[in-house]
Structure 1
């Protein structure tokens, strides 16, 4: 395993120096799942939530989150995000899956941006629907794949 690069010689936090790294196209895809009551999912899909179009608001929140990740996660580098997109799917019963894709051309990856986008979109769904379903759960936020950079491609087995 690589040494942890977010610590300096004094074992204190540092932002990793990416000065010498090559700029490459970097893509990351992450997902988060929202578990909810079937009625809640049905109302989201049918556009019958009093606060408005839940998925449209979650989409914008996720995009904003991807662009603001370095302001939320202390050691993340600010990045010029060239694409941030979210998609939504469901199992027809209780689970809404949020998938975030983030792209940049830069010296460091966009995994944290994709994870942040998917998670914040999920939290937005919770915020907009909590009055009808306080038991919703944001679950299984995970990186699905990434490409670009020195470490190459990644996807779980």
Structure 2
């Protein structure tokens, strides 16, 4: 395999490697990710009214998302550890789903982007919602976790 391969996470021998970002410029980078969790209306209403066995479901899920973003490099093998300047997790109830839309915004000034951090925040917030609601319902569905937008960096801006 050639050393100038377009597969940036492989070395000349085809082995996995972490990309060297040391020659990239430090720029402001932002990523927004979104996902949702669907549940029965009775589960949604229990969470909305605070009538759950495990306490503050939404507050705990937001905190879990923030904490997860900060741990992304420990969870995903080839992610770079980044200084995160802002992590915002919003969880919005939507009775038409029924369930919650989870959105995370992550900002840094670094050599590489924060897409994985935003996606990790959404994923962990959704998993925490599931964990805290599973005593009421085990059939909840986590779905549609995706990158909404990203700004900064060599590849430019992206938006769905």
Same-fold status (TM-score > 0.5): yes
Unaligned ranges ≥5, structure 2: none
**Distance between the aligned counterparts of 1:105 and 1:150, measured in 2?**
13
Q: Give the C-alpha shift of residue 90 in structure 1.
A: 2.7
In the superposition, the TM-score normalised over structure 1's length comes to 0.96
| Distance apart, 1:112 and its partner CA | 0.2
Give the deviation of 1:47 after TM superposition: 1.4
Bigger radius of gyration among the two = 2
Deviation at 1:99, TM superposition (A): 0.2
Shift of 1:50: 1.6
Structure 1 residues without counterparts, runs of 5 or longer: none
Q: Does residue 73 in structure 1 map to residue 76 in structure 2?
A: yes
Could you say which residue in structure 2 is the equivalent of 1:100?
Answer: 104
The answer to whether 1:134 aligns with 2:131 is no
Give the aligned partner of residue 34 of structure 2. Answer: 31
TM-score, normalisation: structure 2: 0.94
Question: RMSD over aligned Cα, in angstroms?
Answer: 1.1
Q: Does 1:17 align with 2:47?
A: no
Aligned length: 155
- Within a 5 Å distance, the mapping from 1:115-154 to structure 2 comes to 115-154=119-158
